[in-house]
Amino acid sequence: MSQLRLGYFYGFGAHLLWGFFPLYFKLLRPSGPIEVLGHRVFWSMIVMVIVITVMRRWRQIADLAKDRARLSRATLAAVLIGANWGTYIWAVNANHVIETALGYFITPLVVIVLGLTVLGEKLRRWQWVAVALGTGAVVMLTIDYGRPPWIALILAGTFGLYGLTKKRLNMHPADGLLVESSVIALPAITALGVLALTGTATVGSVSPAHTMLVLASGAITAVPLLMFAGAANRIPMVGLGMLQYIGPTIQLILGVFLFHEPMPQARLVGFALVWLALVVFSWDGLLQARRNARATARSIRRVPEAAADGPLQPV
């Protein structure tokens, strides 16, 4: 299998797993969001300790531990992803799967806005159109819900900021996930301890199957993240961007047809605006990729032409 095909295999697999996450987290009831998040963080750290050991990257981790600036950024990334995970777990079990899907649909648009406001990037014409459509969708959904779609906005905002922080951090994916899970492991363990002392912990008291499902949360968290990292290293950004719609599409289908969450006409219009914004965003990305490819091809052709026209060199 070529590296490109392997990259698409990893990317498709990662987003497919993320798409079916609502099914998994609903299986963890009656565990509450704090208990699930605590176990997810702790067992993710354990899984990544094993991965780092197999990859023999402890020397890199030791070097990273001496870099206070990078550790500070890694801590910020950990807080953001922890907030994202906690919001998602709570929302799924509170029957807001459709709104979680909306959050990940609008994440690319939030990333565009962050690039504009934080990185000072200039938006192309059609990117502005996509942002305007996305803003219209949020307004429409605010009217429908009777409130801003806070769950979607929190998920998109935390994940967008997490991506921005990771971009600036420029850390190996496995190293980053270990550091992030380790940073929030202490509060996670503390929360689990409080639940155990107060007698409100459910893990170990419901059934062996329930306990195994909760303990598996570390691997279920780490595997798609590592697969996504493998995809990002092998396929173009345009392809990576197109794959990211698989997960929220599956979540939306689950929310409407399996969990029977309401989808009134006004909400459907709001989602339609989001999808239109994503079509515009993707189309613009494809056009830009083609322009870049043509520009690269022209520059490559110029090099041998310039060499042929240049003065003869002594042998």
- pLDDT tens-digit readout, 256-299: 999 999 999 888 888 898 889 888 877 887 788 788 778 877 77
User: Does residue 109 fall inside a structural domain?
Assistant: yes
pLDDT at 177 over 80: yes
139 within domain boundaries = yes
| Packing angle of the helix pair 68-93, 33-55 (nearest 10 deg) | 140
Q: Where are the alpha helices (DSSP H) in 94-236?
A: 97-117, 125-145, 150-169, 173-183, 185-197, 208-215, 217-232
pLDDT at 302 (0 to 100): 67
pLDDT of the residue at 306? 53
Q: What percent of the chain has pLDDT over 70?
A: 94
Residue 304 lies in a domain: no
Check residue 82 and give its pLDDT.
Answer: 93
Q: Is the pLDDT of residue 170 over 80?
A: no
Q: Which of 102-106, 256-260, 308-312 has the lowest mean pLDDT?
A: 308-312
In a domain, 305, yes or no: no
Mean of pLDDT values over 304-311: 51
Q: Is residue 53 part of a domain?
A: yes
Please indicate, yes or no, if residue 218 is contained in any of the structural domains: yes
Per-residue pLDDT, 236: 72
Tens of pLDDT, residues 58-92: 999 998 888 888 888 889 999 999 999 999 999 99
- Looking at the domain assignment, is residue 128 inside a domain? yes
Closest CA to 185 of 28, 48, 21: 48
33 versus 308: which is more confidently predicted? 33
In this structure, is residue 314 part of a structural domain?
no
Task: Count structural domains, the chain.
Answer: 1
**Taking the CA atoms of the chain, what radius of gyration do you get in angstroms?**
22
- By 3-state DSSP, what share of the chain in percent is helix, strand and coil, each rounded to 5? 80, 0, 20
Domain that holds residue 255: 3-295
- Between 129 and 235, residue with greater pLDDT: 129
Q: If pLDDT is split at 50, 70 and 90, which confidence band does 314 have?
A: very low
